[in-house]
Structure 1
Amino acid sequence: MNEINIGKNITKFRRSKGITQDELANYIGVSKSSVSKWENNITYPDILLLPQLATLFNISLDELMGYEPQLTKEDIQKIYYELAQEFTEKDPNEVLIKCEDYIKKYYSCFEFLKQMVVLYLNHCTLFENKEEILNRARELCIRIKEYSNNPQLIKDIIFLEAFSLIMENKPTEVLEILGEDINAFSQEAEIIGASFQLLGNTQKATEITQICMYQYLIRLVGSLVQQIGLNMSDLNIVEESFKRAFGICELFNLDELHSNVSANLYLGTAQAYAVNGKNKKALDLIERYTKVCIDNIYNFKLRGDKYFDKIDGWLENLDLGVNAPRSQKLIKQDVISAIKDNPAFISLKDEYRFKSCVLALESN
């Protein structure tokens, strides 16, 4: 993390200009001992002297002070996971104060503010009034949109702002932000991959192709899960959608490659079967859900496999790396609640297979 290093910088820029401490003291109008104290971080220059020093060294005030309100990606990840863990272990209101202190300190580091939005969205249910947390997340989104000049960051923030509104059940506001028309997928990545292929860099072209396939798979299965949720009362659509999604999961080993997607498929289809009285089929999928959660989600990490053998570097370079955005404790609580407290499964509560799944999820 970047801190104020004005003393060290005065020394560095003074020497680069070939100026002695005596000469600098005479130019500024202070004693040599004052300059010595600055350079040894015993005292700081008077604020009125800073522009004069910056002018002498032909640098900006920020350069002179050695302070930029920015964080590296590694810094951001470290702070994010530190706070995410504290949300599990401490009073969330105390952690919120710490979050806001970080936000004040790095209010101009927009990549950091973005991850604070993500943090708030992932932990808002810990608060009695989650709407206040969602509103705060949107305030940060508005700041980023107003002051950032990074188009990709702004695009990400618009999505997060819309997602926060969905969480607060405000669909009209979402449509005002995103509009109602759906644009075609960008093929920018494929064109980049083709360019590397033409340059003879087949390794990079293969990596990009794998990244594209990986993302399309996740989105396709996610859309099929949504299709199931939209047609719960029509078992023909439910079963056809599940058959196609399950085929993709098996073919591409999504239970391990991206267990969150396959777990959502099993859970969503189990709900559809349960509300339609197909209890045996529902229990079959609850057992699948339980196995995937215990085997993979309880220790969730994004990773490639033997087929997707070129994507690990890309995954590690994501904003939050390969780890889950919430603590394992909170993930486990949600996994258990998704079946134990699910109103769709009321008719299954006394079933031995259902109880065994709950017990397995709780004891692992």
Structure 2
Amino acid sequence: MSLQIGTTVAQARRAKNLTQEALADLLGVSAAAVSKWETNASYPDITLLSPLARALGLTVDALLGFRAAPTDEELKKITAHLREIFDGQGFAAGRDALEDVLREYPTSGAFKLVAGGLYYHYLASALLQADDTGQTAEEISGRCLQLFEQGERECTDVREKLSAQMLRINTLTMLGRYEEAEQLIEALPAKQVVDPDVLRLNLYLAQGELDKAEQLARRSLLSRVTDVSGALMSLSTVARRQHRFEEAAALINAYTAVDTLFGLDRSNGEMLRLMLALDQGDTAAALDALDRYIDARLAYTLDYRDNPFFAGVQTAVPSPREIAAAQQLTLRSLEEDESYAALRGEPRFQAALDRLRAAIPPDA
């Protein structure tokens, strides 16, 4: 990344009412050299940095635009810019840009958490371009884990450290490194009896800070709904694998009821019904669930900005490119995963895949 010393020199020189010639005389260089600095045609010699900074009333850090870590506002802008590159130019370009920022801020734990999250977020895009999806998934997951580990060491904020630990646990689990994941879980701080957000929410209400109370309550609701859905999904999976099919069906019904009530993505519930029907050997029910699943995937946006329960909570939504990548991965899974082998000879199965295939943009 190029330095912007020139702009800093020009602004500081004008603020001190110095001409280029006057600044050059102070430093023992030519006015032409100062002009080249200010147009970024060249940089000052390293031995001139301290005298130049003193002449302009700056620190060397200020002259170089040095910061050990981006500010919160800069972090938001950097993240938004990287998402634009991933979305518009593809995974390879996004990866190169992300690694450039990591080199610029090599000790920023907060950015490393963002970087790992972006890699994980755009994993689907990477897999679509990969010859060996298994190897690519392992490589990217390994890079995520490395970034989360470094981020945890370098973050000073307690919440950021806890977030890094949670991300590490999820990534280790995904990589099949179960013992390490369990050790990290055991090392987590004990759950607090009282949730600080509950106390904070009561405080906001007492102070009349209604906007803050509303946003905190919405975030809390989304978190708890996600927890409930995750628990129901896990319970239904356990029941299904133990062949307690009636119980599994009741749990799946509860899962879909929660999603329907809060206006969330319906595709996971339909996938659970599809897997249950396959386990029971009910081809007709499986094909019905597959049709509903395809419908849900085609309606998939994960955009909850207008959701009456969660309005204002979501700061970013999947781009059309991300959605298309997710649809392509769904198509590949249905085509290749042996879990669906019993359905592949069915005309309805092929028709469902054709419907999904036709909806994916040709340039995705």
- The TM-score normalised by the length of structure 2 is 0.80
Match of 2:225 among 209, 213, 217: 217
Q: Is the 8 A contact 2:85 2:94 kept in 1?
A: no
Task: Name the structure 2 match of 1:7.
Answer: 6
Q: Is the 8 A contact 2:305 2:312 kept in 1?
A: no
Aligned residue for 1:313, secondary structure, equals coil
Aligned residue for 1:331, secondary structure, equals helix
Structure 1 residue 134 corresponds to structure 2 residue 141: yes
Structure 1 residue 205 corresponds to structure 2 residue 204: no
Identity level (%):
21
Q: Is the 8 A contact 1:120 1:133 kept in 2?
A: yes
Q: Is the 8 A contact 1:8 1:40 kept in 2?
A: yes
Aligned residue for 2:313, secondary structure, equals helix
Task: Name the structure 2 match of 1:47.
Answer: 46
1:213 CA drift (Å): 1.4
Task: Name the structure 1 match of 2:340.
Answer: 345
1:186 CA drift (Å): 6.6
1:47 CA drift (Å): 0.6
1:111 CA drift (Å): 4.1
CA offsets 1:171-219 (integer angstroms, 9 cap, x no match):
1111122227773587233333222211223343233222221221122
Structure 1 28/315 Cα, relative in aligned 2: closer, same or farther at 3 Å? same
CA offsets 1:253-293 (integer angstroms, 9 cap, x no match):
32xxxx1xx31122023212211223343333222212111
How far apart, CA to CA, are the structure 2 residues paired with 1:25 and 1:119? 46
Q: Is the 8 A contact 2:169 2:185 kept in 1?
A: yes
Structure 1 residue 283 corresponds to structure 2 residue 284: no
Structure 1 159/252 Cα, relative in aligned 2: closer, same or farther at 3 Å? same
How far apart, CA to CA, are the structure 1 residues paired with 2:19 and 2:348? 82
1:127 CA drift (Å): 6.1
Q: Is the 8 A contact 2:148 2:168 kept in 1?
A: yes
How far apart, CA to CA, are the structure 1 residues paired with 2:35 and 2:175? 57
Aligned pairs for 1:22-101 (under 5 A) are: 24-68=23-67, 70=70, 71-87=74-90, 96=95, 99-101=98-100
Q: Which has the higher contact order (CA 8 A, sep 6+)?
A: 1
How far apart, CA to CA, are the structure 2 residues paired with 1:3 and 1:168? 37
How far apart, CA to CA, are the structure 1 residues paired with 2:34 and 2:192? 62
- In structure 2, stretches of 5+ residues that fail to align are 360-364
In structure 2, give the amino acid aligned to 1:39.
Answer: E
Q: Is the 8 A contact 1:228 1:269 kept in 2?
A: no
- In structure 1, stretches of 5+ residues that fail to align are none
Q: Cα RMSD over matched residues?
A: 3.1
- The TM-score normalised by the length of structure 1 is 0.80
Structure 1 residue 246 corresponds to structure 2 residue 247: no
Match of 2:196 among 164, 188, 193: 188
How far apart, CA to CA, are the structure 1 residues paired with 2:246 and 2:192? 28
In structure 2, give the amino acid aligned to 1:79.
Answer: L
